[in-house]
Amino acid sequence: MKRSMRTWVVVPWVALARVAAAQETKSAPVTEQVAAVDRHEDIGAMVAPATLPEGGSAISGWVGVPELGVAYRQGLLPGWEIGARARFDYLRLATTAEVTTRLRVWTDGAWTLAPELGVGVTANPGSRYFDTQNVRGWFLRINPALVGTYQVTETVTALGQVEVAYDQGLSTSSHWRVKPLAGAGAEIYIGEDLTLSLLGQLGVDVFQGASRLTQTQLGYGLRLGLGMRLF
């Protein structure tokens, strides 16, 4: 009788333990698969994704016309990131250093939109070899932008960017430059957390240069970049 009672008590608990172990075994690969999918969906380093995931970070560098540059991005909270960027305009020999922040404001399926703000300083030695209106001095750089991405395939993200870089003279307040540019391109995952990107931009370049007259010329930009995700 006692043995029968023990059987009725023990058997159900053993059965429940086996079911729980089986469920855990089945769920582990699914969890790993979901994590892999999430990791794959937010590929990118230079421009994509629109915002890095929380705890994610990336470095990138690019060559182009008229600038070379490097950047660092760090995801803080879901949909919000900060970063730092340095650019060198080799036509004017001007160097710009900025801190940046980006916030995701809209997403719908493969589409994502995030405004960005960059604030920094530009040091310009005043070289006039390529630009006769170039001005020597220190400038405050304010650079609002809007970044849009569209996930074309698992390894290709289409890019759209609008930025309005504004330089206000600090050493000579009468000199300024505003350069609104709009562009498009793509970022492609090439393996080992590396992405290759291409972005072309067109717009206008309005400035008050050495002649102290407001002038307008074609604004443009082309970047070929390589980025790496660190986390």
């604030």: which residue's tokens? 119
Evaluate if residue 117 carries a pLDDT over 60.
Answer: yes
CA 82 to chain centre: 9
Dump pLDDT digits (tens) for 130-157. 988 899 999 999 999 999 999 999 999 9
Dump pLDDT digits (tens) for 56-70. 999 999 999 999 999
Distance CA 79, CA 73 (A): 13
Q: Enumerate the domain spans of the chain.
A: 1-37, 42-229
CATH number, domain 42-229: 2.40.128
Q: 16-20, 211-215, 227-231: which has the highest mean pLDDT?
A: 227-231
- Cβ 221 vs Cβ 66: under 8 Å: yes
Averaged pLDDT of the chain: 86
Distance CA 114, CA 120 (A): 20
Alpha helices for the chain (secondary structure H)? 2-41
Is the C-alpha dihedral spanning 41, 45, 51, 54 positive or negative? positive
- Cβ 59 vs Cβ 197: under 8 Å: no
CA neighbours closer than 13 Å in the CB half-sphere of residue 51: 26
Structure pTM?
Answer: 0.81
Our CA angle for 137, 139, 143, nearest 5°, is 155
